[in-house]
Amino acid sequence: MTAIPTQAELILPAPAKLNLMLHILGRRADGYHELQTLFQFLDHGDELGFALRQDGEIRLHTPIEGVAHDSNLIVRAARRLQEASGTPLGADIWLDKRLPMGGGIGGGSSDAATTLLGLDHLWSTQLGEDRLAELGLALGADVPVFVRGRAAFAEGVGERLTAVELEEPWFLVAVPQVFVSTAEVFTDPELTRDTPPIKVRSLLAGGGRNDCQPVVERRYPEVRNALILLNKFVPTRLTGTGACVFGSFPNRDDADKVARQLPGTLPSFVAQGRNISMLHRKLQALAKK
């Protein structure tokens, strides 16, 4: 983890999310998949620091291995906001990276959303949530839910959101040490692509699964082994296209107890599910100052 320096004028969280279920309804003519999923946030995530620049430059000071500076979603989000708002301002940005890449818990998408909201605040561009969500969708299907910051039932490619009120249990999230390629999962010929649509009311009454899970289990033994292990203690499911798997508990003590029984070769963390993301709670607190 990289400490954010004291010159950062604004420090904001970029929370993780879980897909509590994920159904694939079909494939569209453009190659994207129609899906239904249920998003909830976790009180755990990356952290970003921002400082104003007067010269219009966007500089991310935290390199990510294998990702070029200009290709990073954080940089791309900042530049999209610059273009959309016409601001002459720039920013120095630092990232304290805690969420795994390829984990299915939204690390890159959440970082992009925090950048859009953070710089909208710092630059006083006041584009509004709808416009920021629109900018975010061009960066990735999961970005809008992080921009809006409320637990949601998502349809389409994940961009049509209906806010929902869910229980807020504690989750144990295990992190198999493997990078899962979303593209590989969605192009796998054995992926289920004909799950019938479900109404949000029926979903909240219980039910749903992750249609990607059988494909990921077959392709990635590390994920399959984590599911087998965690299932001994609690019903366990894959989030997104993985690699992370999770189980829910009524309180932190129960989750911590199981976490202590996992082997050192399977990292994990415990966090509470939240219907309002910690990013939005932080922004609401700033707005009151």
The answer to whether 156 is annotated as binding is: no
Q: Which of 43, 46, 111, 142 is catalytic?
A: 142
CB 16 within 8 A of CB 60: no
Angle at 94 between CA 14 and CA 104, to 5 degrees: 35
The answer to whether 101 is annotated as binding is: yes
The answer to whether 103 is annotated as binding is: yes
CB 41 within 8 A of CB 14: no
The answer to whether 110 is annotated as binding is: yes
The answer to whether 66 is annotated as binding is: no
Per-residue tokens: 125: 């561009």
Least Cα distance to 57 among 138, 134, 133, 119 occurs for 119
CB 253 within 8 A of CB 168: no
Give the other-Cβ count within 10 Å of 68's Cβ. 9
The answer to whether 149 is annotated as binding is: no
Clarify whether 142 is annotated catalytic: yes
Rounded CA-CA distance 80/226 in Å is 38
> Is residue 166 classed exposed, middle or buried when 0-12, 13-18 and 19+ CB atoms within 10 A define those classes?
middle
CB 117 within 8 A of CB 82: no
The answer to whether 106 is annotated as binding is: yes
Rounded CA-CA distance 139/142 in Å is 9
Per-residue tokens: 110: 């959440």
For residue 67, the cross-strand partners are 64
Residue ranges of the annotated binding site are: 100-110
Residue ranges of the annotated binding site for ATP are: 100-110
Catalytic residues: 17, 142
